Amino acid sequence: MTIEWLTFRCTHCSRLSNVRKNIEPIGKSLKCSKCQQIFLLSNDNLCEAPKVLTFHCPKCGEEIKVIEKEGIYGRQVTCQKCHHNFSLTEKRKDESNFFEKQELPTIINNRYRKISMVGKGAMGKVYAVFDNHLQKKVALKTLITKHTEESEKRFLREAKLTARLIHPNIVEIYDLGVIDEQYYFTMEYVFGILFTNVLQSSKYKRREILRMFVKLCYAIDYAHEKNIIHRDLKPDNIMVQQDGEPKIMDFGLSKMVGDSQRLTATGMIMGTITHMPPEQALGRIDEIDHRVDIYALGVILYTLLTDTIPFQGKTAYELLRQIVSEDAIEPHHLNPKIPQKISLICMKAIAKDKEDRYASAADLAMDLEEFL
């Protein structure tokens, strides 16, 4: 349902305020957010309807509508669909050609044969293709035509960093190339379901999921040994194959330890806020190290144990406040079947101070193996 707004000018300081039309505001009073004076809403101070801008989440493509006002660009917002936090910029404002309907050719570089499109986001598309060289089905990821220089750098970094990781529980990158002046890369095609669905399914026993989780910990530890930090670990970025093997995907926000090149400004939040530790949620770039991934693993473990996440603020601000200032309820208090010892393991992983977290994802895995 489209929300309609009316704009009124404060009779004391001329500040504009937006009020929902469906509450029939004419004749009612409103307290001005600037001068704190109460003024009457009437046809005399009714202004032209505000312009509504449409943005798309750079992670999942979800449409986000925002009333245009001074200072809107640069404002941090959280996608209500995937909880990705990003900054509003004019480049992300919706334009008629933003999601161009360009189609991948049926044959790509005399090597790949397109089968179907399997996913689409604000920045790119993923296709199932047949690789004539490898003689098997692979996934091909490509940027949309109208992308930013920053998104192109992230795309290339994802391909190059992930290609360094050869691990049974990390999706393998096969090839990086160009088609019609657009970059693409191909990767392992995973036949399976999202780890999100595994956590919600009654098909899997908790111990079985915990065994998958331990494998994820060792995979992340392997990435850390290669000096690569994921920075956006969450169940939606993990696939589980039909044989039960988990695969970590989407290294789009990953970075090399010691890499001085910044694609994120200090104070800008990138990632999924529900799975961020305080230092990442506050945008303290210089404080981010491999322990942000350990925190994210802790949040995934928390969900595995309790069927919920540690913090659930109704707004991005409230969620941020909880992450920074509040203590999570210990898992065994939410699920009495959980041994207190495993509950304490989880709480150590999501400690607010990174110095109090596990030193490595392998240490977390080894403590959990006692329960397998």
CATH number at residue 305: 1.10.510.10
Statement to judge: residues 184 and 197 lie in one domain: no
> What pLDDT was estimated at residue 267?
40
Structure tokens at 330: 């210990």
Write out pLDDT tens, residues 66-89.
Answer: 766 666 677 778 877 777 777 776
149: region left, alpha or beta (phi > 0 left; psi from -120 to 50 alpha): alpha
Residues acting as catalytic residues: 232
Domain end residue (candidates: 172, 188, 204)? 188
Residue 95 lies in a domain: no
Class of residue 155 by CB neighbours under 10 A (exposed 0-12, middle 13-18, buried 19+): buried
Residue 96 lies in a domain: no
Its pTM stands at 0.70
Statement to judge: residues 167 and 198 lie in one domain: no
DSSP state at residue 324: H
Domain end residue (candidates: 32, 47, 62)? 47
Asked whether 85 and 76 are in contact (CB, 8 A), the reply is: yes
Q: What is the CA radius of gyration of the chain?
A: 23
Asked whether 141 and 184 are in contact (CB, 8 A), the reply is: yes
Structure tokens at 6: 């009316």
Statement to judge: residues 126 and 254 lie in one domain: no
CA angle 164, 166, 168 (to 5 degrees): 150
Structure tokens at 30: 């409103």
> What pLDDT was estimated at residue 8?
82
DSSP state at residue 44: G
Give rounded-to-5 percent helix, strand, coil for the chain: 30, 25, 45
**Distance in angstroms (rounded) separating the CA atoms of residues 148 and 91:** 8
Q: Which residues contact 179 (CB under 8 A, 6 or more apart)?
A: 104, 105, 108, 109, 142
Residues annotated within the binding site for ATP are 141
b/e burial code for range 232-254 (CB count within 10 A of at least 16 → b) = bbbbbbbbbeeeeebbbbbbbbb
CATH number at residue 177: 3.30.200.20
Statement to judge: residues 130 and 41 lie in one domain: no
Asked whether 123 and 155 are in contact (CB, 8 A), the reply is: yes
Task: Give the count of domains, the chain.
Answer: 4
> What pLDDT was estimated at residue 49?
59
Range of the domain at 323: 193-371
Q: Identify the segments of the chain with pLDDT beneath 50.
A: 1, 91-101, 260-268
Residue 98 lies in a domain: no
From first CA to last CA, the distance across the chain in angstroms is 48
| Helix 206-225 vs helix 361-368: crossing angle, to nearest 10 | 160
Residue 238 lies in a domain: yes
Three-state SS letters, 143-189: ECCCCCHHHHHHHHHHHHHHHCCCCCCECCEEEEEEECCEEEEEEEC
Asked whether 78 and 273 are in contact (CB, 8 A), the reply is: yes
> What pLDDT was estimated at residue 257?
55
Statement to judge: residues 338 and 230 lie in one domain: yes
Give the number of other Cβ atoms within 10 Å of residue 50's Cβ.
15
Statement to judge: residues 348 and 228 lie in one domain: yes
